[in-house]
Amino acid sequence: MKKITQACFVSAWMAAGVLALPVVASAGVGIDINIAPPAPQVEVVPAPRPGYVWAPGFWDYRGGHHVWVRGHWIGERRGYRWVPDRWEQRGPNWHHERGHWER
């Protein structure tokens, strides 16, 4: 009987963890730095692909400097639109807003 109770407890705990995953996965993280990103690089956007959306390239900030992340295809989400990564000046700082899906 004790093993059945433990198995039920473990199953319930795992189910709760699975339910929490979408919330954690959708959490956006932005950064603020005092170094402006370079001008965007020119990319040739490939021809449209059914079922996919083009996420344009952007400057990321890693290891104390800007790094170009090339554009790529991401699976379409019906009812949503892709909002690309962007940098926004906020006073003396620059804020990086990660790309995300928006209704």
CA nearest neighbour of 58 among 83, 77, 80: 83
- What count of residues does the chain have? 103
CB 32 within 8 A of CB 94: yes
Task: Supply the pLDDT for residue 72.
Answer: 98
Q: pLDDT digits over 10-54, tens only?
A: 444 454 443 333 333 344 567 899 999 999 999 999 999 999 999
* Local structure of residue 98 (DSSP, 8 states): P
What pTM did the predictor assign?
0.68
3-state secondary structure of 78: coil
The rounded distance, in Å, linking the Cα atoms of 86 and 59 is: 8
- String of DSSP letters for 6-50: HHHHHHHHHHHHHHHHHHHHT----EEESSPPPPPPP-PPPPP-T
